[in-house]
Structure 1
C-alpha cells in the first residue's frame, strides 16, 4: 500500500455538517495529512464528480460473532462502513460471571449466532476483544456490554428481581468491562431473561454508566401498543441517573400505533430540555428483523430456549399463547421467515407465516417452529409508517444506524434472506432520505461516533485516522432487497480503513486494516 495517497477534485463533506467544498485530501501513514489545494503525493487518484467523506460509523450492529466467522465485514465495508459498534440490544457475548454456563446464554443470543463453528471460549470482555483483534477485522470495531450476558450469568433465566448482592456483582462485572474498553452498556428488555429485570437493577447499572461517562443504549420493552410507556421508562432512568442514553431503532409497529413516534420524540425533547442527553437511531426501512421468539409472552420464555420445547407443545400453554395473539398489532402476512438454524436451504425461509399457514392455524405454525428451533429462527416484520420514519430521521437527536450484521454473501453467514439493511442502510439513506447532504453525512459519521465516545472517528480533518469513503452520488444506490438481500451497494468507489484501500472500484482488495477501538474515562 502507498505511504501517501492524494484524492483530487472531489467534493469534500467532512462530517461536521458544514458546507461541502471542492478540495484535495492527502492521506499519509494512515491519517489525514491535509485538506486543501496544490497538494502533492506519490499516488494520485482523480475523483472529480464524486463525494469524499468520512467512513460511516454504524453504532447499532450485531456483528459480535459474524466478524469472527468472516473478519472482512463484506456487507458493511461495501456500503462504506469503516467503524461499527457491536453488543447492542442487550445481546452481547461478554462478560459472563465466573462459572457461568455459556451454552444457555449462547442460545439466548442466538440472533447473533449464524456460524456454529465460531469458538466462544473467551473468559471476559477483554478476552473477547483480544480474540476479535487477533482475527484481523476489516473495519474498526468497538463494543457495548450486553445486559443479557450480565443478568443471565448472575441471576439466571427465572422471573425474579436481582438481589442487592447480585446487582453489586453485575456492577462489578460491568466496571471490569469498562476497564477493558467497552464503550457502554446495552439492554434489550424483550429478550429473555431481560423482561424480568426490575428498575432497581437498571438504575444501578445506569448510575455506573453515568459515573464512567459511557452510553446506555435501550431496545425498549415494547415498540407497538406500549411504545410510549417503554420510552418513558428509558427517559426516567436517564433523568434519575444522568446516564447518556440512546433509544435504539425508534419506530412504532402496527397501523393503530402510527404517529406514536412523534409523541415519543416529545419525551426525548423534554428530557434534553431539562439537561439530559438522550438520542435516538433508526434505519431507513419499514420492516424490522428479530428472533421469531420475540412474539412469545415474556412469562412463556422463562427458563430460556433450552426448556421451550416441551412447554410450547403443551396444549394449555398453546391455548394461552394463541389467545394472547388474537389482537396482534401486525398481521401474519407481515412476518416473513428470514433464517433458520436448519441446514440451508430451508423451504420455510422467505415465506410469510400466512403463506405457511394456508391450511393451518398461523399460531400453530409459529409455536411448532419455536418448539423445534428455539431462538434458531429469525423473521422480518413490517407494519411501520413512512411518515414515522421520516419524523425520526429528521429529528435533531437522531443518527442513522443499520441494526444489521457484517455478512459474507458467499459464506455461512450468507444463508437465508436477511434484512437488506446489512447491505444497504447508508447508501439507501443518502440516496432516498438525505435532503441536506452535509447534515446527512454528519448523521452517519461524526454524530454517531460522538454518541459512543469515539471522538476521533467520523471526521475528515488533519490528524484524524484516514477512514474515508468516496462515492458517486449519481450511481449511489442500495441493491439489496427483502427477497434478494445479498447484494452489495452500487456507487461506493473507494473505501479506506485507517488509510488502507479496502474497497477499490467496488471490489474488495483483501486488506483487513481495522482495529479494536476502546472507550476510556
Structure 2
C-alpha cells in the first residue's frame, strides 16, 4: 500500500526537463513511482490538479546553525518550500570550539550574526557533538553542515592580523579534515569577517586542498562585492584551479551603482575558468538588498583582536575619526542601509535607515553606525541595498548559478523573530517563482532545477533534489499562478501564499499554509 499518492499535478522533476502531468507515489519516506498511477491503492490521496509538484527546495546557503535549535519547526523556511538547509556558510559557524571558556565567548561574539537566542546553550566542542545536538532537536527540515573557517582560524591562530604559521596551517587542516570525515558537506570562508580578513591566500589554498582531497564543497563569501569584486573573484578562481576544489561563490552580487555591470564580467571569468576545467559555480537570491552585521562595514584593522577588542577600540575618538575617513568613499549611502536588528528593546531603531536615524538625532550616519556597533558588536544587523536588477537577472539566468536564500529559519513568535529581518528568510523561493517565473523572465523548469537538482548536486546531496524513484520524498506542491512572497522589507515576518503542501522525508509538514507540527527532518552526513 502506497503511503501517499499525489495525483494530477504538473511534475517538474528537478532535472531541467519540462513539466508533465503525472502522479507521484510515496512510501517509506521515498519516491516509489512517478507516472500514471491513478489506480494505485494508497493510504491517502492528495489531488494536485492545477498545481506544480516538484522536489523540495534545497537551500545551499543558510545561516540557521543556531536558529534551528531555538526554532526546530523551521517555520519561515519550510512554509516556503525549503526541505533541506545547508548551514555553516560565509565562514560563520559554531564548531569546532578550541580552547577554554574565553575561547568559547570570543567565538560566540564573532558569530553574533547567527546567535539570535541567548538561551541556546553551546554544549558541543566538535562537529559530531553539534550534529548530535541538532538531530536531538528534531528539525522539520533536513540539514547538512559546512565547516566554518572562523572557528578554525580563531581557535588556532586567534583574532590578530598575521599569517598562519606552518604548524598552525597543519593544525587547521587537521581539524578541518576531522570534521569532513565526520560528515561535513564541505567548508566555507568569509573574507569580510574578522579574523578571516587576515587570512592569506596560502591559508585558503591549504584548506582548499584538504577539501578537494575528499571531494567536498568550498563555499566563499569573497573579500569584496564592491569596487574590488573582480579581483576577489579572481582570487577564488586561482585557488580553485590550483587545488581542484569544487568551489561555490556565495551570493554573487555587485554593491554600489558605480559597480553595476560587474556581475556579468564576473560570470565571464567563471565561464573561462569552467572552460579550463575548474568546478566553479555561484549562488544568488532574488532580492536587491542583502543582510549582514553592521560591523561588516568596518575596515579589517578595526576588528583586530575579536569582538570585545573591537568594541573597546571603537570607543576611542581617534579610531572613529580614522574609520570615518575610510568611509568617505563607500559604494552605498546611509539612505540604503536599514538597521534590522539589535539585541535590545530600543523603540524606533530597527526598521529605519541609518540616514533617518541620523536626521532624527541631529547626527551623521557614520556616528549612528559607530554607536550601534560599539554598543552591540556583531549582533547589530543591517539590510543594505545599492544593487542592480540587470546584475541580478544576469546571475539568475546563468546556467552555473543556483538559488540560496542567505537567510535563516525564524519563528515570528519566538526569540528569533525580533526586529525586521530580511524578507528572504520567509519568501525567497516564492519570490523567485512569483516575480521571475510568472513574469516570463526565467523558465519554470530551469527555476525548479536551480532550487532543487542543481542545488543538491553542488552540495553533494545525492539522494535529494529530484523526483525519481528511490530518491528521498522531499516534495513541494504549489500553485504557479498564485505563489507569492508576501514578506516585505517593512513587514518581513509574513508567510507566503500559494504553497499547497510541503513534504519532508515523505511526511506532510505544511498543508494549505499551516504547519502541522511534524518534525521529520534528518541531519545529513556526507559519506
Which TM-score applies when normalising by structure 1?
Answer: 0.98
For the 8 Å contact 1:97–1:173, the answer to whether it is kept is: no
Q: Which residue of 1 aligns with 2:460?
A: 453
2:506 corresponds to 1:499: yes
By how many angstroms is 1:99 displaced?
4.1
By how many angstroms is 1:3 displaced?
6.1
Q: Which residue of 2 aligns with 1:116?
A: 118
2:497 corresponds to 1:490: yes
Q: Deviations over 1:231-256 (max 9, x none)?
A: 11011000110001000000000000
Which moves more between the two structures, 378-387 or 38-47?
A: 38-47
Q: Which residue of 1 aligns with 2:412?
A: 409
Q: Which residue of 2 aligns with 1:213?
A: 215
| Matched position secondary structure for 2:455 | helix
| Matched position secondary structure for 1:365 | helix
Q: Which residue of 2 aligns with 1:132?
A: 134
2-side partners of 1:46 and 1:178: how far apart?
A: 42
| Matched position secondary structure for 2:86 | strand
| Matched position secondary structure for 2:22 | strand
By how many angstroms is 1:320 displaced?
0.5
Q: Which residue of 2 aligns with 1:357?
A: 358
For the 8 Å contact 1:186–1:218, the answer to whether it is kept is: yes
Q: Which residue of 1 aligns with 2:377?
A: 374
Q: Which residue of 2 aligns with 1:27?
A: 26
Q: Deviations over 1:177-211 (max 9, x none)?
A: 01111000100000000000011111110001111
2-side partners of 1:290 and 1:46: how far apart?
A: 41
Q: Deviations over 1:401-459 (max 9, x none)?
A: 10000000111111000000001111111122233111110000010100010011001
2:96 corresponds to 1:89: no
**Correspondent of 1:230 among 229, 232, 243:** 232
Q: Which residue of 1 aligns with 2:73?
A: 72
Query: Given the superposition, is the C-alpha separation of residues 376 and 98 from structure 1 closer, same or farther in structure 2, using an over 3 Å criterion?
Result: closer
2-side partners of 1:316 and 1:384: how far apart?
A: 32
1-side partners of 2:494 and 2:509: how far apart?
A: 18
2:70 corresponds to 1:63: no
Contiguous gaps of at least 5 residues in structure 2 = none
| Matched position secondary structure for 2:329 | coil
2-side partners of 1:346 and 1:279: how far apart?
A: 42
For the 8 Å contact 1:62–1:112, the answer to whether it is kept is: yes
Runs of 4+ in 1 over 6 A off after TM superposition: none
Query: Given the superposition, is the C-alpha separation of residues 431 and 266 from structure 1 closer, same or farther in structure 2, using an over 3 Å criterion?
Result: same
For the 8 Å contact 1:446–1:455, the answer to whether it is kept is: no
2-side partners of 1:306 and 1:97: how far apart?
A: 18
Q: Which residue of 2 aligns with 1:153?
A: 155
2-side partners of 1:232 and 1:156: how far apart?
A: 27
Q: Deviations over 1:41-91 (max 9, x none)?
A: 121111100010000000000000000001011000000000010000000
Q: Deviations over 1:276-306 (max 9, x none)?
A: 0000000000000000001111001101111
1-side partners of 2:200 and 2:297: how far apart?
A: 21
Q: Which residue of 1 aligns with 2:309?
A: 307
For the 8 Å contact 2:25–2:37, the answer to whether it is kept is: no
| Matched position secondary structure for 2:282 | strand
2-side partners of 1:137 and 1:43: how far apart?
A: 24
1-side partners of 2:18 and 2:91: how far apart?
A: 37
Q: Which residue of 2 aligns with 1:184?
A: 186
2:311 corresponds to 1:318: no
Q: Deviations over 1:98-154 (max 9, x none)?
A: 547110111001000000000012010010000000000100000000000100011
Q: Deviations over 1:8-66 (max 9, x none)?
A: 11000010111211011111111111111134212111110001000000000000000
2-side partners of 1:20 and 1:307: how far apart?
A: 55
1-side partners of 2:283 and 2:153: how far apart?
A: 25
1-side partners of 2:164 and 2:75: how far apart?
A: 40
For the 8 Å contact 2:339–2:382, the answer to whether it is kept is: yes
By how many angstroms is 1:482 displaced?
0.3
Aligned CA RMSD, in angstroms, stands at: 1.0
| Matched position secondary structure for 1:427 | helix
Q: Which residue of 2 aligns with 1:336?
A: 338
2-side partners of 1:64 and 1:376: how far apart?
A: 15
By how many angstroms is 1:360 displaced?
0.6
Q: Which residue of 2 aligns with 1:193?
A: 195
2-side partners of 1:310 and 1:153: how far apart?
A: 21
For the 8 Å contact 2:2–2:25, the answer to whether it is kept is: no
2-side partners of 1:38 and 1:127: how far apart?
A: 43
**Correspondent of 2:274 among 272, 275, 286:** 272
By how many angstroms is 1:474 displaced?
1.6
1-side partners of 2:37 and 2:323: how far apart?
A: 69
Q: Which residue of 1 aligns with 2:517?
A: 510
2:2 corresponds to 1:8: no
For the 8 Å contact 2:340–2:382, the answer to whether it is kept is: yes
For the 8 Å contact 1:340–1:346, the answer to whether it is kept is: no
| Matched position secondary structure for 2:509 | strand
